[in-house]
Structure 1
């Protein structure tokens, strides 16, 4: 999944719109020249000052951009679809791929390899690259893409000082709960107490009600480690079927987690409890209604795939369950 969410104001304020495919003309989307912040999820996106992917070009990799140097200046957006793993580019000293050449497979300050202000053409074997006029990713820039060899930089000839490949976004997240090392705490809670008194010689009805209803609940939640590499808006599933102790509750065994959301869900349900019918002679009968509250927490291992690289993080799953409600009866002779 790759998408871009654009906002009218800085700090993700004002109108917003989400795109999951390239947009050649933002005028038709009623969002031309009005983007002041954005979020990218997945692979990088390119923003252009003119429609149909023309004009000045700006690169946005996965992440949040609360402020931007070029507010209100984009007219088209393009999603990067190339394979960004194992990038490789060949830079040439002269136009038409002539003169000295150098092959790069990672980010490089050209000053350090005596190739600053030298390149005039290139061939990209794999990935998408950004060439900068100044060191440390500064100054004017040019994007180089696989299968789009450029024999002549024109006005950018012999100006490149820094080169870097664009990084792939997160393509999948696998969540595994370690149930073997879960922590569980059980606490009985008295939620009601009903007393009946029979001072006579004969059995007596305990109550006009034979059944009472109480509220049971299940709440589960997920929290991320801090910090996490998972970007805002990225979602994944957690299998929590092992916690589903009561089939009468409809909480799905698959818990969908989304970075930036509350990631908490609760279900409540009425549970019926039967009461005693009679009280023995000369007896005080006390019925306590007890709910067993179970609090469980377990570590969740998150395997994050960014391109061909696997990154491991940990989160925490918690479940608070109060679905077991029973009665405890106590008789006292009087």
Structure 2
């Protein structure tokens, strides 16, 4: 079982709905940014503040979440399954150019290291604006190719990456 159960009330009360596949717009189901609690059974889920898997991302792992703060409520979500062991290729220049680095584990990047583009070979990755994993966060999935990190909202380059 790999379900996410959304509830309109805190502590798993009120109207609820169960999903087991990616949902690009929860508004269609009457739950867009309206969930107040949730349960994850099985694989983790990545949620996005906007529809079409856009906006701020949050990862929910197997477990119960009795209260979801307003700023963490979401409009779309993806299940994290069948992604394989994490592997990402980073490029120093846009359009997959310049020196490249392959990673398969959590890596705070050296000060001054610039990731201008990337390709996710397998798994899912969290990219963070700062080395302490704060600031802007982006979740990248197997098959994602970003030719310019500025296109995903990083004015500066990601400073830390870790497998999701």
TM-score range, shorter chain: 0.7 to 0.9
8 Å CA contact 1:127, 1:165 repeated in 2: yes
133 and 66 in structure 1: CA distance in 2 versus 1, 3 angstrom threshold: farther
Aligned to 1:41: 41
Residue from 140, 161, 164 that aligns with 1:163: 161
CA shift in 2, pair 1:73/1:98, >3 Å: same
Question: Which consecutive unaligned segments of at least 5 residues does structure 2 have?
Answer: none
Q: Map 1:216-227 to 2 at 5 A.
A: none
1:100 aligns with 2:99: yes
RMSD over equivalenced CA pairs, Å: 2.3
Runs of 4+ in 1 over 6 A off after TM superposition: none
Higher mean displacement: 25-34 or 123-132: 25-34
Distance (whole Å) between structure 2 residues aligned to residue 48 and residue 74 of structure 1: 5
Shift of 1:82: 3.8
Deviation at 1:100, TM superposition (A): 3.0
Give the 5 Å matches for 1:56-95.
56-71=56-71, 73-84=73-84, 86-95=85-94
Q: Is 1:138 paired with 2:134? A: yes
- 1:167-186 deviations in whole A, cap 9, x for unaligned? xxxxxxxxxxxxxxxxxxxx
Rounded to whole Å, the distance in 2 between the matches of 1:116 and 1:37 is 40
CA distance in 1, matches of 2:70, 2:113: 26
In structure 2, the CA distance between the partners of 1:11 and 1:93, relative to structure 1 (3 Å rule), is farther
Show CA shifts across 1:178-217 (max 9, x none). Answer: xxxxxxxxxxxxxxxxxxxxxxxxxxxxxxxxxxxxxxxx
Shift, 1:126, TM fit: 1.0
Closer, same or farther in 2 for the Cα pair 1:148/1:76, shift >3 Å? same
Q: Find out whether 1:126 has 2:122 as its counterpart.
A: yes
Structure 2 CA distance for aligned equivalents of residues 49 and 83 of structure 1: 22
Report how far residue 60 of structure 1 moved: 2.1
Tell me how far apart the structure 2 counterparts of residues 12 and 71 of structure 1 sit (CA, whole Å): 18
1:74–1:126 Cα change, 3 Å: same
Question: Using a 3 Å threshold, how does the CA distance of structure 1 residues 127 and 116 change in structure 2: closer, same or farther?
Answer: farther
Q: 1:78 to 1:150 in 2, by over 3 A?
A: same
| Distance across 2 between alignment mates of 1:60 and 1:49 | 13
Equivalents in 2 of 1:124, 1:101: separation in Å? Answer: 13
Partner of 2:143: 147
Greater strand share, structure number: 1
- For the pair 1:6 / 2:2, whether they are aligned, the reply is no
Q: What is the rounded CA distance, in whole Å, between the counterparts of 2:51 and 2:13 in structure 1?
A: 24
Task: Compute the displacement of 1:116 (Å).
Answer: 5.4
Aligned-partner SS, 2:33: coil
Q: Count how many residue pairs are aligned between Structure 1 and Structure 2.
A: 162
Q: Tell me, which stretches of 5 or more residues in structure 1 are unaligned?
A: 167-334
Larger Cα-atom Rg:
1
TM-score (norm 1): 0.44
Larger relative contact order (CA 8 Å, sep ≥ 6) = 2
TM-score by length of 2: 0.82
